[in-house]
Amino acid sequence: MNHREALTIVCIVVLIFYIYFNRTPDRLFDDYNKDVILSPCDGLVTHSDKRKISIFLNLFDVHAQYTPIDSVIKSTEIIEGKYHMAPTPESEHNRGVKVIFSSIHGDIEVTQRVGFFVRRIVNYIKPGESVKRGIPYGKINFGSRVDILLPENKESILSNLQPIYAGITRLC
């Protein structure tokens, strides 16, 4: 195999991985009552305690975030911070984007956080916009973390190290 063939194979593999990584699959959201709060992302629960949930997204998870419930976007805020490894507790202080969804249950905060290598978050929503549960609203490029703060009257039913799926897994 010559250098040109090897480079072609490497480019094809990288392209396939990039396409796979950036997938945004449709999720079926009709199996639950419309008032149920569903996970906004795929990943592994690294922390679940009462209202606070942290989810680690590895390289093979879907990195799109989906609206957790029918709501109105109350606000979006860029959070300045560090660039710690996403699965560590220190990443709670990483740079990110916090979106507050105003729902019939109260406000739900979803914070997309960058990791050590990742420094790009994209959102497609704006404050004041009404959104339906299950629409993709943003994406974190490559392995990262999502933090969720449930409304005051709700508590997480998730357990640590539980795999979860956007639009499928109930949060409370």
Give me the catalytic one of 39, 91, 103, 144: 144
How far apart (Å, rounded) are the C-alpha atoms in residues 113 and 149?
14
> Two tokens at 154?
């709700």
How far apart (Å, rounded) are the C-alpha atoms in residues 54 and 35?
22
Helices (H), the chain: 3-21
How far apart (Å, rounded) are the C-alpha atoms in residues 171 and 74?
20
**Which positions ≥6 away from 132 have C-beta within 8 Å?**
67, 70
Residue indicated by tokens 């005051």: 152
Please say if 144 is a catalytic residue. yes
> Catalytic positions, please?
144
